[in-house]
Amino acid sequence: MRKKNHKYIFVIGGVMSGVGKGVATASIGRILQEKGFGVNPIKVDPYLNVDAGTMNPTEHGEVFVLNSGLETDQDMGNYERFMELDLKTEDYITSGMVYKYVIEKERALGYGGKCVEAIPYITNEITRRIERAADMNGSSISIIEIGGTVGDYQNMMFLEAARVLRLRHPGDVSFILVSYLPIPSKLGEMKTKPTQTAVHMLNSYGIQPDILIARSALPLDQKRKEKIAIWCNVTPDNVISAPDVDSIYDIPLNFDKDKIGSIVLKSLGLESKKKGAILSEWRQFVKKTKNSSKELKIAVVGKYFDTGDFMLSDAYLSVIEAVKFSSYTQGAHASLTWINSKEFETGKLKIESLREYDGIIVPGGFGSSGIEGVIESIRFARENGIPYFGLCYGMQLAVVEFARNVVGLKDANTTEINPKTKYPVIDIMSDQKVLLAEGNYGGSMRLGAYPANLKKGTVASTAYGKAKISERHRHRYEVNPEFIMQMEEQGLVFSGTSPDGRLMEIAELPETVHPFFLGTQFHPEFLARPLAPHPLFSAFIAACIKEQGKKK
């Protein structure tokens, strides 16, 4: 249950989006945890989508899946990684969720025949959800990141709800504005006016920020801190400098230097529950990120990798971070190269070029474009002893490749690509067929955490060090049970299965046959943490390092 005098921190963006509100929220949350407080982060996305599941990841960023199965914004992944939490459905709010609930309640006469208007019914529903999340988590402090920037029409209701919440709970609500300070190239001088304007606009909603986080390419000098303080009605100490950094994992340490934890607690009338230095484990992790001696070359092969590295870094954020965490702990730095599988199909890129890599990853995806190039990449990795790690679609296509080229089922395929294939080694689940026939796409896949049993003596069981696991899923298709025996007879090992033995969760080749050839039906990247790397990613990286050593 929510404790008496529960505290709320709202993180709001100014000037422009994409300046790091999510990472700032996660960093502040981590610092407050280290100071002894239970914290629950909440992400507010003001779009009308009910969840993030139907959005294009190359445009909006990765779809991050919670244990509950809710498909969310990628910032939820940062919260989990920084704060080492498994977030709940209640920790994510969209305008679509809010409006859908209010409209459905009105249709069911839930408002007793009253005229239902945006204010107060929408804002009341927003505050109800924020307070419910606090109750569900039993935390002391909620940190609510409001997506977008001040002045966006779509987040007005959330700002109004935040204002009302502060009115209802005086002394228990604090506002932080993350705002950008540009340095025009022709002037070479940091300009504060856009941030001043953002604060004035926030004031027009009846909200005065208590703390300003000043994002810029360079650190903020004292002169500008004082200028911002005067024009924005905050003290200079409450203006936090947040310059660009090489790694987002430096941010909690930089914030701690500016004593942001103490400043935030003071704004809420609280004192730290712990004395002395904090973030000791985090400092050790950051030190490892800067002292990696081995360079690993990892090829990430995908079917729509023609959108640019920047887009891909957002679309596959959790995969990238999971590789980093496991590499750092083993004294290595992984350099990822995005390879468009279509180039193997057109001949623009030769399959032999994969020899230069220490490992190959095929991440999740959907659709048919570039699939034959992916399958050819998997075959090359299998036949040439290059460590291979397939995630979801990457496992399914590894099964297709094995069925075709080892078992001899030449037309083997997934029915997602070829519904009429003679050998549907990957097929859609029966309950999914019903949902798709009804036109239900959003939130209708196999989503969230499911348990699995591991076979003793396999690569997977050795990596995990236990017999039972739970991992997060996001897919519709499964290994077809009709072909399992044929593939096992030819050496493919299904080392992880659902507790009833019906669903294949992990496929691998024994270490006696291949250095590392493993695919997962689930998405292990969603559970990777800076201080707790995922065991399968760590096993993959260890195999890459070992094979690299053999080349020298």
pLDDT tens digits, residue range 369-384? 789 999 999 999 999 9
Whether 60 is catalytic:
no
Q: What pLDDT is stored for residue 69 in this prediction?
A: 96
CATH number for position 433: 3.40.50.880
Would you state the structure tokens that stand for residue 546, as one six-digit string? 């070992």
**Tokens standing for residue 440:** 């239900």
* Domain that residue 487 falls in: 293-551
Rounded to 10°, the helix 123-137/156-168 angle is: 60
445 versus 168: the higher-pLDDT residue is 168
Same domain, 384 and 485: yes
510 and 527: one domain? yes
Among the options 6, 473, 523, 534, which is catalytic? Answer: 523
Are 273 and 311 members of one domain? no
Among candidate residues 80, 160, 392, 473, the one labeled active-site is 392
In a domain, 2, yes or no: no
22 Ramachandran zone, left/alpha/beta (phi>0; psi -120 to 50): alpha
Domain boundary among 284, 309, 333: 284
125 assigned to some structural domain = yes
User: Do 337 and 238 fall into the same domain?
Assistant: no
Q: What is the CATH number of the domain that holds 234?
A: 3.40.50.300
Task: Determine the Cα–Cα distance for residues 430 and 428; give it in Å rounded to an integer.
Answer: 6
Q: Name the DSSP class of 119.
A: I
pLDDT tens digit sequence for 78-111: 999 999 999 999 999 999 999 999 999 999 999 9
For residue 352, tell me if it sits in a domain: yes
- Domain assignment present for 492: yes
Total number of domains in the chain: 2
Catalytic residue status for 200: no
Residues making up the chain, counted from first to last: 552
> Which one of the listed residues 125, 508, 525, 534 is annotated catalytic?
525
Identify whether 392 is a catalytic site residue.
yes
Q: What is the pLDDT of residues 105-154, one digit of tens each?
A: 999 999 999 999 999 999 999 999 999 999 999 999 999 999 999 989 99
Question: What is the per-residue burial (b if ≥16 Cβ within 10 Å, else e) of 492-527?
Answer: bbbbbbeeeeebbbbbbbeeeebbbbbbbbbbbbbb
Res 229 pLDDT > 90: yes
State mean pLDDT over 463-479: 96
Of 41, 476, 514, 524, the C-alpha closest to 325 is 524
